[in-house]
Amino acid sequence: MRGALDAIDLFLEAWPDYAATGALDELRAQEFGRLDAEGHTYLDYTGAGLYGASQVRRHSDLLLSDVFGNPHSDNPTSKRSTDLVERARRHVLSFFNASPDDYCVIFTGNASHALKLIGESYPFGPGTRFVLTFDNHNSVNGIREFARARGAETEYIPVDPPDLRVDAPTVEHALGVTRSGGPGLFAFPAQSNFSGVQHDLGWIAAAQSRGWDVLLDAAAFVPTNRLDLGRWTPDFVVLSFYKLFGYPTGVGALVARWPALAKLRRPWFAGGTITVASVGADRHHLARGAQAFEDGTLDFASLPAVDIGLEFVESAGLDVIHRRVTCLAGWLITSLLALRHTTGRPLVTLYGPADVRARGGTVTVNFRDASGGFIDHQRIEAAAGERRISIRSGCFCNPGAGELAMGISPEEMTSCFARSSDRITYDDFRRCIDGKGTGAVRISFGLASNFADAWTFVEFARQFLA
Ligand SMILES: Cc1ncc(COP(=O)(O)O)c(C=O)c1O
């Protein structure tokens, strides 16, 4: 990595904060040696975080040293599982500085599952509204189907290109009490998984003071930012743990404020969620708190690994991770924007803020040829793959941000839907929108990222210069 070594002095001059994050280089050597041993440049942390070797070792040692039974019981092996599940639950609260008096942790399969719990249980009805920003993940967008089915109105707040931020008056207008329909549920991502934009967490209290319940999608934010639920108090927070620390997969959480949780009405009951159910009497009573939302048996073998993973991130230090990722994203953006074809045209178009204020380590671009035409994002991902660079291309399950970033109008989308059937493939749909990008290339940094990763991507990008 000679080139990276030559470039690092200039990088450190421009981003002096990076020097204080050296502990993460040691951590990378100890815990993520497989990245360099296998020649990987991993740049998809918004897709999934990576686990440190010691997390897996500690978890397997734990599983091999004890006996764990189904937690829905009172026997010794069952109690052992319950102890560790409850320990993980307490740790999630302390990780987010949430008081158990204010918040409850419900373990789910992932963030999408947590969102579905909210969607299917929220008291939507005629006269209530579901308001959300355009740059939500599809698993938040999908809640509109529950809202619509129960007669609630859905309203999107647009994000403005090129930064893809929302200005405060637009939010205030959308949440205004004078508009038709009362309050309801307001949802936004703490960090957009498309653009890296971090929205103003001040919206939470502003919306609540007008009677809204606030759903904060924290999935893309929490891996590299501190979320302090002592300071910000959204009603619902959703996340997936693999995005934070890679392992275990298949576990997420809905962290809910008690009064908001009390408003949710579950559409069914299942094993584990009731205090009592009767077939003869055709009645049931739901359990209280988290238990009412955890259908069937929890992933009790994996949950101790959540405790271990949280400890791993705490010992690395979220503030250090945040600082490193900010420096790398800042350098990457500046370096990519500086690349020009011999025609003078820029190599990339950036979607999202060009500075590092209120943005995370997710950088989304499209590549352009010397005459300004799009270079297909799938081609870029494939070429990166040949160099063992892992990036993501497409719309990242965030169609709203993509449509606004690429200037695809609702009319164009509607006409393509009208001409297509349920069975249309993504590629066929793309062909319907002529001459515009329908996806982009996403590079994202995380806990184990270093300067060589960012540098490798910029060197890779140069091959498309003409
Ligand atoms: C912002 C955001 N919300 C929700 C999700 C959904 O997470 P999962 O697929 O783990 O349910 C993702 C995943 O990429 C995301 O980035």
Q: In the structure, what pLDDT confidence band is assigned to residue 428 with cuts at 50, 70 and 90?
A: confident
The band of 435, judged by pLDDT with boundaries at 50, 70 and 90, is low
CA of 115 to the centre of ligand 1 (A): 10
CA-to-CA distance for 300 and 305, rounded, in angstroms? 10
Best residue among 115, 191, 217, 221 to mutate for probing ligand 1's pocket (most ligand atoms within 8 Å of CB) is 217
Query: 273-293 pLDDT, tens per residue?
Result: 999 999 999 999 999 999 999
Task: Check if 137 has its Cβ closer than 6 Å to any atom of ligand 1.
Answer: yes
**Ligand 1 midpoint to CA 219 (Å):** 6
pLDDT digits (tens, 9 = 90+) for 330-340: 999 999 999 99
Average pLDDT of span 149-172: 94
Does 411 score more than 70 pLDDT?
yes
Expressed in angstroms and rounded, the spacing between residue 19 Cα and the centre of ligand 1 is: 31
Q: Give the Å distance between the CA of 212 and the centre of ligand 1.
A: 23
Q: Is the CB of 368 under 6 A from ligand 1?
A: no
Q: How many CB atoms lie within 10 A of CB 359?
A: 24
Q: Please choose, from the candidates 63, 56, 52, the residue with its C-alpha nearest in 3D space to the C-alpha of residue 29.
A: 52
pLDDT given for residue 410 in this prediction: 86
Average pLDDT over residues 52-64: 98
Distance 195 CA to ligand 1 centre (A): 14
pTM for this entry? 0.96
Q: What is the pLDDT of residue 415?
A: 83
110 lines ligand 1 (CB under 6 A): yes
DSSP string for 398-425: -HHHHHHHTT--HHHHHHHHHH--TT--
Q: Which helix (H) or strand (E) holds 230?
A: none
Across-strand partners of 107? Answer: 253
- 4 against 91, higher pLDDT: 91
* Residue 238 CA to ligand 1 centre (angstroms): 9
Going by pLDDT thresholds of 50, 70 and 90, the confidence category of residue 181 is low
Question: Which of the pair, 432 or 27, is modelled with greater confidence?
Answer: 27
Average pLDDT value for residue range 81-87: 98
Question: 240-255: per-residue pLDDT in tens?
Answer: 999 999 999 999 999 9
Give the atom of ligand 1 at the shortest distance from the alpha carbon of 397. 14
Q: Evaluate: CB of 219 within 6 angstroms of ligand 1.
A: yes
Locate the ligand 1 atom nearest the alpha carbon of residue 192 and give its number. Answer: 1
Calculate the CA 328 to chain-centre distance: 19
pLDDT of residue 274: 95
In the predicted structure, residue 1 carries a pLDDT above the cut 90: no
What is residue 333's predicted lDDT score, i.e. its pLDDT? 98
464, pLDDT greater than 90: yes
Give mean pLDDT, residues 67-96: 97
Average of per-residue pLDDT across 114-127: 97
Ligand 1 in contact with 139 (CB < 6 A)? yes
Beta strand extents in 376-424 (DSSP E only): 389-390, 392-394
Q: pLDDT class for 177, splitting at 50, 70, 90?
A: low
Residue range 120-141: mean pLDDT, rounded? 97
Least confident span in 83-87, 190-194, 438-442, 451-455: 438-442
| 126 pLDDT more than 90 | yes
Distances (CA, A) of 286 to 17, 96, 238, 268, 297: 51, 27, 22, 9, 16
- Residue of 465, 455, 445 lying closest to 46 (CA atoms): 445
- pLDDT mean across residues, the chain: 95
Q: Ligand 1 pocket, 111 CB below 6 A?
A: yes
Atom number in ligand 1 closest to CA 240: 10
Residue 327 known to be catalytic? no
Three-state secondary structure along 292-352? HHCCCCCCCCCHHHHHHHHHHHHHHCHHHHHHHHHHHHHHHHHHHHHCECCCCCECEEEEC
d(C-alpha 116, C-alpha 145), whole Å: 11
Q: Is 198 in the pocket of ligand 1 (CB under 6 A)?
A: no
What is the CA(111)–ligand 1 centre distance, in A? 6
End-to-end CA distance of the chain: 25
- Given a cut of 80, is residue 421 above it in pLDDT? no
Q: Does ligand 1 come within 6 angstroms of the Cβ of 143?
A: no
Find tokens 């993973």 and name the residue.
309
Please give the average per-residue pLDDT across 99-116, as a whole number.
98
136 lines ligand 1 (CB under 6 A): no
Nearest-angstrom CA–CA distance, 43 and 98: 31
Is 194 in a helix, a strand, or coil? coil
Question: Which protein residue's CA is at the shortest distance from atom 2 of ligand 1?
Answer: 219
Selected catalytic residue, list 104, 327, 397, 432: 397
- Give the model's confidence band at 309: pLDDT under 50 very low, under 70 low, under 90 confident, else very high: very high
